Structure 1
Amino acid sequence: MSKDGVLIIYHDEHYDSLEISETRFADLAKLKLKNGENIPTLKDFLEKGKKNPSLKLVIELKPMNSKLRENELVQKVVQMVKTFQMESQCEFISFSLNICEQLKKEEPTFKVKYLNGDLSPLEIKQRGFDGFSYHYSVFITNPGWISQAKMLGLITNSWTVNDIAVFEKLKTQGIDFVTTDIPDQLLHK
């Protein structure tokens, strides 16, 4: 979310030397991505996604410098998703425990997964989240977590799985999904 409250789609908290949350949208709108396009807004993302209802849109809400700002972010995202009537097409992830809790508080039916890797499957279930998406190293350190999550009815995902041997190990453990930069190599494994 920009300094003036505009919801944008960008993976990192910074664009070059600019901190997105401390930069006005008018200044961000002047910038070009590496592919020559402008930084898209959440509105742009939802408009395009709505054209193909078979797509599942995963929205990551980045942690912010205060709970107040995070709560504002959550309220704005929830409202926009509802305005577009895309509740069933969107899922949400965050490294912020507060953001995940606020998402469930604002809209209990939203699918919310926690990213930080510091909560066990039981703790995820107790907080009312739908699952987790942890770096693959968390599952190497905690090899029973995927099976525990399955028993609790949680969704499991791992990122960024770019090693075929790691993928095979996670697949053997029963992981539901992986995030990868090499989908063509993992597709037939």
Structure 2
Amino acid sequence: MRVAHRGGAALAPENTLAAFETGLNYDPDALELDIHLSNDGVLMVMHDPLLSRTTGEAKEISDYDAATLATFNAAKTHKDARLFGFQPIPTLEQVLGYVQTREQSVLLQIEIKLKQDGSRYDQLEEKLIALLRKYDRIDSSVIISFDFPSLQRIHELEPSLQRGALISKKYMTEIGSKGPKAVAENIASLNVDYVGINYNYLSQTLYDEFRAKGLGVGAWTVNEKEAILRMAKLGVDFITSDYPDRLQQLLVD
């Protein structure tokens, strides 16, 4: 599957409605996005817990309510900020509503994020599942996270919802040092559907170990032509890229 990372972060300001609109124009199989929680309990779509990188604002998402966050320009620091104009930080509900209007068959990969201090947002998983049910998205979403307890909580609340465990650099330094088999066994013990890994770590041996455990495999963030083709040849289920246009050009028959 071709996955537009943060909507297509190389083509438009990441995780904005402009990015999802642009990404969908290249007919990806899935959109990937990230969620945090405002201080009044609204699911917000943004990658970082800190606002500074994309909006230029101080503090964290969790320091503000949704109404205030909507006044911040998520395209402010983008190289083409003038072209895209003001792009508010969208709520997850706004993104779900927009995708629904496009009437395209597209999977959603929703990444659960943590606060800057590494703590979890209270009730985030419950709010996420409620929204997915509201928009009839349980069967067409995959919840992904580097935080494995969040994935376990999702399973407790909605066992039918597909989940993917993301492997961090720290994880590969620790568990990964024990070898491919140990990594595959550890991820399989989480009872998830997929594993997502930086493509630079995905060797043929590790890929084979994942498959032997019955795991789906996704690679991120794959932007260069040679790497895209290499991951496709390897046979991964998901290729996540900032360039949905390249994925369409290289992988659509």
Q: State how 1:105-144 maps to structure 2 within 5 Å.
A: 105-117=156-168, 118=171, 120-140=183-203, 143-144=204-205
- C-alpha separation in 2, matches of 1:182 and 1:55: 16
- Partner amino acid for 2:51? Y
- C-alpha separation in 2, matches of 1:104 and 1:126: 14
Aligned to 1:29: 70
- Partner amino acid for 1:116? I
User: Conserved in 2, the CA contact under 8 Å of 1:96 and 1:116?
Assistant: no
Aligned to 1:77: 128
User: Conserved in 2, the CA contact under 8 Å of 1:161 and 1:178?
Assistant: yes
- Residue 77 of structure 2 corresponds to residue 14 of structure 1: no
- C-alpha separation in 1, matches of 2:210 and 2:186: 10
1:5 to partner: Cα distance: 1.2
Q: Deviations over 1:110-160 (max 9, x none)?
A: 1111113436222222211111111112214xx422122223322211111
- C-alpha separation in 2, matches of 1:88 and 1:54: 12
- C-alpha separation in 1, matches of 2:223 and 2:48: 20
Q: Where does the alignment leave 5 or more consecutive residues of structure 1 unmatched?
A: none
- Residue 91 of structure 2 corresponds to residue 55 of structure 1: no
Q: Where does the alignment leave 5 or more consecutive residues of structure 2 unmatched?
A: 1-36, 53-57, 76-83, 176-182
1:99 to partner: Cα distance: 1.1
- C-alpha separation in 2, matches of 1:99 and 1:138: 24
- C-alpha separation in 2, matches of 1:162 and 1:53: 24
- C-alpha separation in 1, matches of 2:189 and 2:71: 44
Query: What SS does the corresponding residue of 2:98 show, helix, strand or coil?
Result: helix
- Higher RCO (C-alpha 8 Å, min separation 6): 2
- Residue 188 of structure 2 corresponds to residue 147 of structure 1: no
What TM-score comes out, normalization by structure 2 length? 0.66
What TM-score comes out, normalization by structure 1 length? 0.86
User: Conserved in 2, the CA contact under 8 Å of 1:116 and 1:134?
Assistant: yes
- C-alpha separation in 2, matches of 1:20 and 1:45: 17
Q: Which runs of 4+ in 1 moved over 4 A?
A: none
Q: Is the alpha carbon distance of 1:136 and 1:144 closer, same or farther for their aligned partners in structure 2, counting shifts above 3 Å?
A: same
- Residue 90 of structure 2 corresponds to residue 40 of structure 1: yes
Work out the number of aligned pairs and report it.
186
Deviates more, 1:91-100 or 1:48-57: 48-57
User: Which of 162, 173, 176 pairs up with 2:223?
Assistant: 162
- C-alpha separation in 2, matches of 1:53 and 1:165: 29
Q: Is the alpha carbon distance of 1:88 and 1:167 closer, same or farther for their aligned partners in structure 2, counting shifts above 3 Å?
A: same
Deviates more, 1:145-154 or 1:106-115: 145-154
1:165 to partner: Cα distance: 3.2
1:15 to partner: Cα distance: 1.7
User: Conserved in 1, the CA contact under 8 Å of 2:232 and 2:239?
Assistant: no
Aligned to 2:241: 180
* CA RMSD, 1 decimal: 2.2
Deviates more, 1:166-175 or 1:6-15: 166-175
